[in-house]
Structure 1
Amino acid sequence: MGNQIVRPNQLAKELDVSLCTLWRWRQQNKLPQPIQLGPRLVGWKREVIEEWLDSQNNG
């Protein structure tokens, strides 16, 4: 299950933020860059998000 992809709507819900906040964090490099799944489709690997959350909680 290491290849699970988290879509923007799901990630925003999990982080309890709006999609606008998610994209703003992405532009400000506060969030790991997503991977391109298609021309207009992005997502994040679950393991990358979990590592990022750990670093936010410990830093």
Structure 2
Amino acid sequence: MEKSVSAPTNRLIRVKELRQMLGNPSLSTVYRWIAKGILPEPQRLTPRFIGWRASDIEDFLNSHKNGGASND
């Protein structure tokens, strides 16, 4: 019997992990990309805790494989 070993896509990714996945852009660049609509909006769970759904980030990375995000 074959098992699928995919990570759960409903987990939340914190900004530190997000930055690592994106090639370590600065924090201000991450928030600029959010403001411009390049990156999906994070979900706020508490006043101090935000995160991105792993599935949203996977979709973003898959759609930008060839072009990559710019530092605009």
TM-score (norm 2): 0.71
Correspondent of 1:3 among 7, 10, 16: 10
TM-score (norm 1): 0.83
The aligned residue for residue 35 of structure 1 is: 43
Q: CA deviation at 1:58?
A: 5.7
* Count of equivalent residues: 59
Uncovered stretches (5+) of structure 2, i.e. residues with no partner: 1-7, 68-72
Q: Structure with the greater relative contact order (CA < 8 A, sep ≥ 6): 1 or 2? A: 1
Superposition CA RMSD, Å: 1.5
Uncovered stretches (5+) of structure 1, i.e. residues with no partner: none
Higher share of residues assigned helix: 1
Q: Which runs of 4+ in 1 moved over 6 A?
A: none
Greater Cα radius of gyration, structure 1 or 2: 2
Deviations 1:1-53, CA, capped at 9 Å, x for gaps: 22211001110122121111111101111101111111122100111100111
